[in-house]
Amino acid sequence: MEMQIGPHRVEVENDIVFAYCSHRLQFAELKQILDLCEKIHARFGSAHLVTVMGPGYELPPESRKLAAEWGRDHELHNIVIGASFAIRTLINLLSRASKLVGSRAAGVDFVSTIDEARHRIAEYKARMANSQENLKGL
């Protein structure tokens, strides 16, 4: 399924949401993407957001705040493609800070290509399945 959220193209493949962002990701646009992730998680039991950052990508403060607050109550595996060093640093800092205050989000992985993102998702799913198997033995 493919859709447009503001100037951003969004594709959904099962439990994976690909957001292609080359502009400022406004609060309302991010809210729509996160609402979509929430629906995906409810349907599949997991959700993975792959954000492909293009030239002009920007996450304003109100959108950063929404992402941090949303992550406290929702499980989401984030993967980012195309982030500059500065953006990777900022995202890592925000991710670690949100973990300290109880975020349930799985954290953020940085990769270079869609194929690498798919590979990380497969690894993540395998780790989660392994964890669930280990818990059953308790």
pLDDT digit string (tens) for 23-37? 999 999 999 999 999
Which range, 23-37, 67-81, 82-96, has the best average confidence (pLDDT)? Answer: 23-37
Domain range 2-136, CATH architecture = 2-Layer Sandwich (3.30)
pTM: 0.86
Exposure letters 117-136 (e unless 16+ CB within 10 A, then b): bbebbeebeeeeeeeeeeee
Split at pLDDT 50, 70, 90, the class of 74 is confident
The residue ranking higher by pLDDT, 124 or 92, is 124
Tell which residue, 63, 112, 62, 120, has the closest CA to residue 88. Answer: 112
Domain ranges of the chain: 2-136
